[in-house]
Amino acid sequence: MKKALFLDRDGIINKRIIGGYVRSPLEFELLPDVVPILLSARQRGYLLILITNQQGVGKGLMTTSDLDVVHEFMQSELAAHGLRLDVIYVCTDLATSNSPRRKPAPGMLLEAIAENNLDAAQCWFLGDSLTDAQAGKAAGVRTALVGDFSAKDADIIAPTLALILGTSAL
């Protein structure tokens, strides 16, 4: 079985737009501090798998092809560092939909575990929202949160992305 580092997108891979959505490559800003984390994880044999809620599509503020363009741009930005996300899982359902795929529900993670033959106990989910850790816990993977959280919220907590690397076996 394989192992994966699951990654939230907004606030982890790219700068979050508070109260809005990244609708085009012009609005996509790669967070440089994630690069060494991805390189380290890749070197340790982790697949890199994106797990992202994008209800901007469900709200009609952007289309799935807009989202595909953003993700192609994300991959090209990562390629400049010799990186590529192996698989991308997106949930475009609205927060009000009670979707089993939308974080904090574990649906996307469970799909990813099954489809990529992963050992959940060896996987990590790195995010910046409590809902990321909730989804991770529900799927049986270890959790790492960036931000101002309390120790009970995740297995690893660090105030910044740059500090995540030093805290774990990631």
Minimum CB separation from Mg ion for residue 157, in Å? Answer: 15
Shortest reach from residue 129's CB to Mg ion, in Å:
5
Least distance from Mg ion to the Cβ atom of residue 59, Å = 17
Q: Does 126 bind Mg ion (CB under 5 A)?
A: no
Residues 6+ positions from 92 with CB-CB distance below 8 Å:
54, 55, 56, 57, 58, 64, 67
Q: Does 22 bind Mg ion (CB under 5 A)?
A: no
3-state secondary structure of 38: helix
In the complex with Mg ion, the residue whose CB is nearer, 66 or 128, is: 128
33 counts as catalytic: no
CA-based radius of gyration for the chain: 15
Choose the catalytic residue: 8, 66, 93, 128. Answer: 8
Is residue 10 at the binding interface for Mg ion, with CB under 5 A as the rule? yes
Cα dihedral: 34, 134, 17, 72 (round 10): 60
d(CA 141, CA 135): 9
Closest CB to Mg ion: residue number: 11
Interaction of residue 66 with Mg ion, rule CB under 5 A: no
Q: Of the candidates 120, 128, 145, 157, which one interacts with Mg ion according to CB under 5 A?
A: 128
> Both tokens of residue 51?
């797990």
Q: To which H or E segment does residue 75 belong?
A: helix 64-79
Q: Annotated active-site positions, please?
A: 8, 10
Question: Residue numbers of the site for Mg ion (CB under 5 A)?
Answer: 8, 10-11, 128-129
